[in-house]
Chain A
Amino acid sequence: MIIEHPLLGPRDAAEFVYLGDASLIDRPDWQAEDAAERFYEYGYLRDNPAGEHQELWYHEQGDRSWLVVTRNTMSHEITKVELARDVAKARGRNT
């Protein structure tokens, strides 16, 4: 498997560590009314799609960047690779 790193180009999957669903970026607000319920969902509930899936990959053996990889779980085709930082910023986070 090869991941097209946005800064470094195509890199072997062996250089990366897989973390999981990219929804982990969206950490709930701990001060919200329903914080307990939302943290339970954040901690335990995951979609398991047969098809396109967004996931977090950590370039441990490389530049140590976090990536959001859009991968088809049926075909292993990778359609999009973004820096997790950019994704988080686009969703309104400042870091």
Chain B
Amino acid sequence: MTQADTTLNFVSGDEKAVKTVPVSGQVNRVGTGLINPNQKLKFSFNGKEMTGFAGDTLASALLANGQRLVGRSFKYHRPRGILTAGSEEPNALVELRGGAAQEPNTRATVTELFDGLEAKSQNHRGSLNFDVMAITDFASPFLTAGFYYKTFMWPKAFWEKLYEPIIRKAAGLGSLSMKEDPDSYDKGFLHCDLLVIGAGPSGLTAALAAARSGARVILADEDFLPGGRLNAEALEVGGQSGSQWAANAVAELTSMDNVRLMTRTTVYGAYDHGVYGALERRTDHLAKSEGKPRQILWRIYSKRAVLAAGSTERPIAFGNNDRPGIMLAGAVRTYVNRFGVVPGKEMAVFTNNDDGWQTALDLQNAGVDLMAVIDSRDVDAPVSLPGVRHLRGQGIVNTIGRKGVKAVETTGGVTLPVDAVAVSGGWNTNVHLT
């Protein structure tokens, strides 16, 4: 660490996790994960100064600073927090930068943190904490579908001039700068024998196999750190950590002339006869683009392609499951293992499959107080978690709290005080592109 007032202890191996003294402001930072603790970054959220580290996303930095509430929902202005740790994020949409470069509706979970990043929350009148439009949530039983169109019918002329502008202003997300885009953009063409979409364990293995045989390979991944879930799990591959295995595979691939590794690149479409579209973000992770193209639209011609886009976790439906602090269990593991951040200090895990138990294990190793693991199945715990309550065959029926979850109620009538919940409903393979 560069500053004397901050300490950060490594949580390693079998050693029982120690609750560490947090880096100033970063109350939820419990480890280093894959971030660089020697490179501290300053950023602001709604004008409030916060810090993170190189390797953080905006979402992980916000969580580290204990910022659970990050936005308001589209219609009822319900408080919203971070749900995922990837491009599937539906809630944590923020406005980045300012002036002409202002960019609305950006997912905090895929925004790479840089020094001086300015982020703002969206869709609230007044402050994020006190949104006067949140009244719509309490009036929601009256605001059914078609309410506006039935209620504001007369006088007819008022609709276009008065009613609609007001209603439109009440809903919606970010705002545009209304200024000319100061950045430049480019396009390009690439050719290869094999396009590998996704640099997780499957993608890296496929790219290595093809590259070693001499094929021209393009490996594209939307993240800035290749490795996919290898970076997010506390697992071992061939005697080394998953992230180390990924780093070694990437090192071998980058040493080969016939491989082009494209990080921060989203392959968004496959077209006839082996044509693929990809968007590479070149300067979005920098404070200034300095004349370089901000994004490049690539047209990739490939003889074959391997789709290794990973999986997306399903949430579980229950009452008020949109409160800030309620997150997908796999995303929680990402924050704990990759970013060294816990979403809360007292958590519960709600799962319907074995994978949720891995999250419970990782959380316990990170020093989080686990109030309970709620498993909707009537089965024995697949993972041994001494001292952790196992609620068999139960589910969450409701959550309590307004700007963040404070407690959950289960079908068995148990009320658990928590400040975050990890929810796992199983995984769906991504057989689509973006």
* Residues of chain A with a CB closer than 8 A to B272's CB: 1-2, 76
Cβ of A78 within 8 Å of any chain B Cβ, yes or no, is yes
A16 to chain B, nearest CB (A): 13
A1 to chain B, nearest CB (A): 5
Cβ of B273 within 8 Å of any chain A Cβ, yes or no, is yes
Fill in one digit per residue for A1-16: 1 if any B CB lies within 8 Å of its CB, else 0.
1100000000010000
Fill in one digit per residue for A66-78: 1 if any B CB lies within 8 Å of its CB, else 0.
0000000000101
- In the bound complex, how far is the Cα of B272 from the Cα of A1, in angstroms? 5
Cβ of B134 within 8 Å of any chain A Cβ, yes or no, is no
* Residues of chain B with a CB closer than 8 A to A1's CB: 271-273, 275
| Tally of chain A residues near chain B (CB < 8 A) | 5
B310 to chain A, nearest CB (A): 28
* Residues of chain A with a CB closer than 8 A to B273's CB: 1-2, 76, 78
Cβ of B274 within 8 Å of any chain A Cβ, yes or no, is yes
Cβ of B114 within 8 Å of any chain A Cβ, yes or no, is no
Fill in one digit per residue for B59-70: 1 if any A CB lies within 8 Å of its CB, else 0.
000000000000
Cβ of B301 within 8 Å of any chain A Cβ, yes or no, is yes
How many A-B contacts are there with CB distance less than 8 Å? 14
The secondary-structure label for the interface of chain A is strand
* Residues of chain A with a CB closer than 8 A to B275's CB: 1-2, 12
From residue 263 to 301 of chain B, which have CB atoms closer than 8 A to chain A? Answer: 271-275, 301
* Residues of chain B with a CB closer than 8 A to A2's CB: 272-275, 301
- In the bound complex, how far is the Cα of B275 from the Cα of A2, in angstroms? 8
A76 to chain B, nearest CB (A): 4
- In the bound complex, how far is the Cα of B274 from the Cα of A76, in angstroms? 12
* Residues of chain A with a CB closer than 8 A to B274's CB: 2
- In the bound complex, how far is the Cα of B301 from the Cα of A76, in angstroms? 16
Shortest Cβ distance from A75 into B: residue: B272
A80 to chain B, nearest CB (A): 14
- In the bound complex, how far is the Cα of B272 from the Cα of A78, in angstroms? 10
* Residues of chain A with a CB closer than 8 A to B271's CB: 1
- In the bound complex, how far is the Cα of B301 from the Cα of A1, in angstroms? 10
* Residues of chain B with a CB closer than 8 A to A12's CB: 275, 301
Q: A2-B273, A2-B274 are in contact. List 12 more A-B contacts (CB 8 A).
A: A1-B271, A1-B272, A1-B273, A1-B275, A2-B272, A2-B275, A2-B301, A12-B275, A12-B301, A76-B272, A76-B273, A78-B273
Residues of B within 8 A of A (CB): 271-275, 301
Residues of A within 8 A of B (CB): 1-2, 12, 76, 78
Ranked 9 nearest A-B pairs via Cβ:
A2-B273, A76-B272, A1-B272, A1-B273, A2-B275, A2-B274, A1-B271, A1-B275, A2-B301
